[in-house]
Amino acid sequence: EVQLVESGGGLVKAGGSLTLSCVVSGFTFDDYSMGWFRQAPGKEREGVSCASFSDNVIYYGDSVKGRFTVSTDSAKNIMYLHMSSLKPEDTAVYYCAARLEPVASYTSYDYNYWGQGTQVTVSS
């Protein structure tokens, strides 16, 4: 059974840092492509990063490029989203997602499995 569980969200001041974790089970990062998405109240779900670890490619959205980075611990089946220089506009529920294709995609509809989400709030 495929499962994704996010953690690490919380309240942080602008300019601060936070690292989110996504623990996955039922598959390996070599088989699926992965994504981080976020959704703020009243807004559509936005792609933050997408990756194909089998192809060694990671893409970042323009709004987070240079501030967020993605890494994995394959031995523990964990994907991380390291967030720095956080801004109030980064406030959202953050989700990790897995796609049954090894090609990275920013389109949320391409993803087959989702975590429950973790809230990130950045105060000004």
- Per-residue confidence (pLDDT) for residue 102, from 0 to 100: 86
Res. 85: pLDDT tops 90: yes
Q: What angle do CA 35, 41, 46 make, to 5 degrees?
A: 25
Helix (H, G, I), strand (E, B), or coil: what is residue 63? coil
DSSP category for residue 88: G
Mean pLDDT confidence for 26-34? 90
Mean pLDDT of 28-37: 92
CA distance 119 to 10: 6
Contact 21, 6 (CB under 8 A): yes
Q: What is the predicted pLDDT for the residue at 31?
A: 86
Mean pLDDT of 114-121: 98
Q: If you average pLDDT over every residue of the chain, what do you get?
A: 95
pLDDT tens figures, 40-72: 999 999 999 999 988 899 999 999 999 999 999
Q: Do residues 32 and 77 lie in contact, with contact meaning Cβ atoms separated by under 8 Å? A: no
Q: How confident is the model at residue 30 (pLDDT cuts 50, 70, 90)?
A: confident
Cα 108–25–51 angle (5° rounding)?
A: 40
- C-alpha distances (whole Å) from 32 to each of 9, 63, 85, 92, 110 are 24, 25, 29, 25, 12
